Structure 1
Amino acid sequence: MSRIGIIANPYSKLNKRNPAQIETLRTIASKHADFFVTDSLQDLSQKVKTMANTGFDVIAICGGDGTIALTMTEIIRWYTRKELPKIAILKGGTMNLVASQINIQGSQASVLRRLIRRVEQRSALTTSKLQTLQVGDHFGFLYADGSAVRILKEFYRKKSGILGAIWLGLRLVSSFLRKGRLVSKLIYEETVKAKSGAQTMEFTSLGNFAGTIRKLPLGFPLLPLAMKQKGLFQATFITCPKEKLLWQLPLIMIKHKEGTSLGKYSICCDELEISSQSPLHYTLDGELFIHDETTPLKISQGPEVEFIKL
């Protein structure tokens, strides 16, 4: 029978809002799974190392997209000589982007109960495979930089959930129409250079995205070509002028082809290097990073991961 380990991040949006939920999950897991609450990145690394050394082959993650990405990075790091464990997502974040890709439904408690029941009944665990994206030393599924990072930082200032994200979007639209201060502060062009194989590109872009999943938060289909060809992720550079972004955004979303199209340039590749004249601020699944080295930031496909459908 599979051995289940549960990683819980008490600082994720949902868990922080309802601290008692962690204890509820711990009670459900009692006698059925080992429960690990993490309090730092170092602690997370040590606990995943313990799980790898003691043979856990199912790991459930209770947290948001950032928690999933950080945990996956440690799993790939420590399960070097073993098959990667199957992953169950218990949710717990704001957007729950990865959970939405594999259609995880229900509360954290109900998802955990379903997982335990299937493992104990030795039922076949139906899985959905997702290719990871490696950015520098980290693994995740969705990369973004430029204006997307500045908007994300503005959202994080208040951390007000889905309604807060919608409200920020409405404020940005209003500021765009009025040529206000908010849109000027968050959305502007930067020059970036990109290289994929022998192809070298230079863009003046509002922001750049790369990923192995097709839907962005709130369901926007910006990367519809991701993984249509096995082993290739999609990268998209938003090249439209800032003053035309609001009007061109619907067409940017619905135009699904490689190369140049209205307001963007898209490419499907297995490796990409991005560089800029200043430190590159980027996000991977909601976690924020800065690449300030003189060498380009390398993005490539990572290992494939099996997520349990619950």
Structure 2
Amino acid sequence: MLRVGIISNPFAKIIKQNPEYNTRLWYTLAHYGQMEVTHSVEQLRQVCLEFHARKINLVGIVGGDGSISLVLSALYSAYGSDPLPKILLLKGGTINFLAKNLGIKTEALTCLEDTLKIIHKKQALNEAILSTLHVNGRLGFIFANGIATSFLEEFYKDKTNSFGAAIKITSYIVDGLLKGKINGEFKKIVRQQKMSIETFPEKIWQQKAISAKSPDEFSLIFASTVKKLPLTNQFFKKVKLGDEYAEMIAISEKGKKLIKGALKSLMGGDIYNLPHVYSVKFKQAHITSYENSLYSLDGDLLDSKDGKIEIEMGPNFVFCSPYEIAK
């Protein structure tokens, strides 16, 4: 029997645009379960502990990718060694890349209505198992460093949506192709950073021959347990959903060659054969950034303080949907 709980982020884009949205969600949920609007991390922890005590086994999350990351981390802590609840994505954020990876296109209220219809008929929801990354104590799905953090710092100054992000990336690419003659933004965010990377059980450098030593200056580092980055059709080719491995891609290319790789990935092309792109499936990774302690997890900018970032595999979660789930 499914016991439903919904956690809503009042700062999610869909809620900010329509303050009555939470009321409509609460009215739709009715006797099927419990809905909570959390305004702080501490309140979120308390709600997850209450859900555990009430044996809630299907948790709907209203918000963006950062909200999902925070809720999963709080659920993992609250449920401990007991079975984790299944997750229902009720997308309401800016980018919603996780929903895109699962093929969920409808907005939160419609998705909830369709889910409750299936539960009422005692039919089974579609499911997919996703592995998580455990990065410096927080769960998520996509880790990024290097240029990605510089881009997010700029993007959040006038945060819009996926279309706005695409326009901003396009402006950087065009500026780079024209050697900074448009606005100089390309050079502003695109610079290599000195880092050291270790991955286990295999070293990332085993995938290609390195003549002298492992490269230590990088433009971009990504790690993921899902296949798609925002704005791409498929970026990580080695990811298999729920297999308890992640993929890391480290890029030490720069300048116009970096632009070439970016254009190729945005068009769905394979970047693995580019000379300064390294990739490996891994279970643990240690990254030390010597210049910038910031990194991104599911779109949230976080500070590692000392530049040290520890990544390991987190728990698997079962994601449910009333619609067919992309594999």
TM (norm. structure 2) is 0.88
Distance 1:251 1:110 in 2: 35
- What is the alpha-carbon root mean square deviation over aligned residues? 2.0
Deviates more, 1:239-248 or 1:25-34: 239-248
Q: Which has the higher contact order (CA 8 A, sep 6+)?
A: 2
Q: Which runs of 5+ in 1 are unaligned?
A: none
2:264 aligned with 1:254: no
List aligned pairs for 1:170-189, cutoff 5 A: 170-180=170-180, 181-189=184-192
Matched residue, 2:139: 139
Indicate if the aligned counterparts of 2:176 and 2:255 stay in contact, CA closer than 8 A. no
Instruction: Identify if the C-alpha distance between structure 1 residues 164 and 229 changes in structure 2 by more than 3 Å, giving closer, same or farther.
Output: closer
List aligned pairs for 1:25-64, cutoff 5 A: 25-64=25-64
Distance 2:249 2:216 in 1: 11
2:321 aligned with 1:309: yes
Q: Which runs of 5+ in 2 are unaligned?
A: 206-213, 323-327
Distance 1:66 1:29 in 2: 24
Matched residue, 2:209: none
Instruction: Identify if the C-alpha distance between structure 1 residues 10 and 23 changes in structure 2 by more than 3 Å, giving closer, same or farther.
Output: same
Instruction: Identify if the C-alpha distance between structure 1 residues 27 and 237 changes in structure 2 by more than 3 Å, giving closer, same or farther.
Output: same
Could you list the per-position Cα deviations for residues 226-271 of structure 1 after superposition, in whole angstroms to 9, with x for gaps in the alignment? 23793221000111122321123345663365xx743311111111
Distance 1:277 1:283 in 2: 16
Distance 2:289 2:298 in 1: 21
Number of residue pairs matched by the alignment: 307
Distance 2:41 2:32 in 1: 26
Matched residue, 1:297: 309
Indicate if the aligned counterparts of 1:236 and 1:266 stay in contact, CA closer than 8 A. yes
Distance 1:66 1:228 in 2: 20
Letter in 1 for 2:294: H
Indicate if the aligned counterparts of 1:279 and 1:292 stay in contact, CA closer than 8 A. no
Distance 1:20 1:27 in 2: 11
List aligned pairs for 1:123-202, cutoff 5 A: 123-180=123-180, 181-197=184-200, 199=203, 201-202=214-215
Matched residue, 1:225: 238
Matched residue, 1:20: 20
TM (norm. structure 1) is 0.93
Letter in 2 for 1:255: D
